[in-house]
Every structure is written in structure tokens, then in C-alpha cells.
Amino acid sequence: MDEKKDEVSRWFSSIRDRIVDEFFVIESEFSDKVPDVSRRSWQRDGGGGGESVILRGSVFEKAGVNFSVVHGKMGENFSTEIPGAVESGGQFWASGVSVVAHMCSPHVPAIHMNTRFICTAKSWFGGGIDLTPMYSNDDDTSFFHDNLRAMCDLFDNQYYGKFKANCEEYFYLPHRKEPRGVGGIFYDYLQKDFDRDFSFTRAVGECFLSVYPAIVKKRMYKRWTEEEREHQLIKRGRYVEFNLLYDRGTRFGIMTNGDPDALMMSMPPVVKW
């Protein structure tokens, strides 16, 4: 299992680097202004750590890309919520990459992508991609979902429908009675075949790199008004509400003593209610 853990964490680290590089390319195509980038490494009390990269530029108002490998023992109460954690005595290992981009333009949708591998007495992959436009665009939504479907169908023609439904159920704000965005795919507890499940998880990362930059480049030059900016900031409030109230990853990080700043990486830089 240690070799598998190393293989997975190396992939997550490499896709993180490629995503950051691609965001730099987009910034350079849009403007000669060099974006501000901060890299911060952190260590987890109890074992492991990670690195958070925050990019702020002319296209990406704030893009956070986080990679982590953490291990140790989780609290007894939280162990009952995680498959295999009771059997492992609370011992766990987890690695993943997460991306959240909040854009300068209200016409460029926000994006979230996360893939992870978690080991207790059991081991499984999870993750997904979801798109949050400030203003709905049917062309972008169709392009996004068509590519997700094509990617999923390479592995199982049931995946897209199942994972799309998971996403719609998960990224929903019950107190608002509205979805966070236009959906995507969301999967968890993928554990039947390591090689196949890891291959699918890699495909999710590759799909992100091919689809989201294409949407950004298509929309980033469109001008916007102050009213559209105001709408964007209010829409971002829904993002904050979901992540603080419902997001499993945020809760997992908090309950396993993760780095607070890395956990809050997904928060938009400016928001209104």
C-alpha cells in the first residue's frame, strides 16, 4: 500500500504544478502584468503537511491550488463518520489536490476541482469538478458537461449520470433552496479496483486542464458593468455559505487538525450579502 500511496501523492503534486503553470499561461495571454503568487508550506501536528499556492492576477482574482499529504490519528468521535476508521483505531492517511478559482470577470465562471485518496482500514478515491457561473451561459454549461460525460464514458457509461446526480445533490444549499452552480460530477468511496479508480481520478484532473482553461479564454475579454460586478459578489456569498455549512472536505480538514489557512483557501477574496 505504501507504494500506491507514493504513486498517488506524486500524481496529485504533479497535476497541482501543471494547473498552476496553466493559470500563468492564461494570465500571460491576457496581460503583460505579472500575477502575484504566494506559496506557503505547512505542517500538520500529528503527521504530514502540504503546500498552498495562491495566485492573484488580471484574470484570476484569486485562484487557490492546494496539495497535501497528511496522516496520523483522528479523534474518536470523528472516526465513526469515516469508513474503516474505527477498525484502524483512528489511524488514517490522506492525500489530495484541490483547486478553487474566483475570477475577476463576472462572465467567467468560478470552478472547483478536488481529487483525493484516503486510507484507513479501507481505502478509496473521491473527488469531482463543478462549475459556478455568475451568469448562466448555456454554451459553457453544455461544453462543460459534454466533456465530463465523454470522460466518464471511457470508464463506465453509468458514471456520468450517477456522478452528475451526486453533484447536484451535494452542491445544494437547503437553507436557500437553490444549487450552488450548474453542477458537474462528484464521486466518493470509489474502491473496487485501485488501478482503474486511480486512472479515473487522473482523468478527472486531465479533464479539468482541457475544459476550464478553454472556457476562461473564451470569456475573459468580455467587459462587465458595476451592476454585474455587484451581482458576482452577492453570488459568491452562496459559495461561502456552502463551504462553511456543508462541505465535507472542510469538515474533514477541521476534524483532522488540518491547516486552517489551507482549509479557507476556497474562500473568495471579496464577497457581499
Tens-place pLDDT, residues 33-77 = 999 999 999 999 889 999 999 999 999 999 999 999 999 998 877
Can you tell me the distance from the alpha carbon of 29 to that of 204, in angstroms, rounded to the nearest whole number? 25
pLDDT above 70 as % of the chain? 100
Please report the pLDDT score of residue 252 as a whole number: 83
pTM of the predicted model, to two decimals?
0.94
Amino acid at 37: V
SS3 184: strand
Is 112 tagged catalytic?
A: yes
Domain boundaries, the chain: 2-266
User: Which residues 6+ apart lie within 8 Å of 146 measured at CB?
Assistant: none
Which residue in the block uniquely carries the three cell numbers 474566483? Answer: 102
DSSP assigned state of 197: H
Rg (the chain; Cα; Å): 18
Q: How is domain 2-266 classified at the CATH fold level? A: oxygen-dependent coproporphyrinogen oxidase (3.40.1500)
Contact 140, 107 (CB under 8 A): no
pLDDT (tens digit, 9 = 90+) per residue, 134-151?
Answer: 999 999 999 999 999 999
Q: Which is it for strands 48-56 and 60-73: parallel, antiparallel or unpaired? A: antiparallel
Catalytic residue of the set 107, 112, 175, 231: 112
Other Cβ atoms closer than 10 A to 90: 18
Are 203 and 151 in contact by the 8 Å Cβ rule? The answer is: yes
Angle made by CA atoms 26, 31, 35, in degrees to the nearest 5: 70
pLDDT of residue 259: 82
Q: DSSP string covering 7-63, please? A: HHHHHHHHHHHHHHHHHHHHHHHH-SSPPEEEEEEEE-TTSEEEEEEEEE-SSEEEE
d(CA 171, CA 165): 10
Q: Which residues of the chain carry a pLDDT beneath 70?
A: none
For residues 172 and 180, is the Cβ–Cβ distance under 8 A? yes
Cβ atoms within 10 Å, residue 161: 12
Coil/strand/helix, residue 1 = coil
b (16+ CB within 10 A) / e for 23-41: bbebbeebeeeebeeeeee
Contact by Cβ (8 Å): 262, 42: yes
- Which run of H or E residues covers position 100? strand 91-103
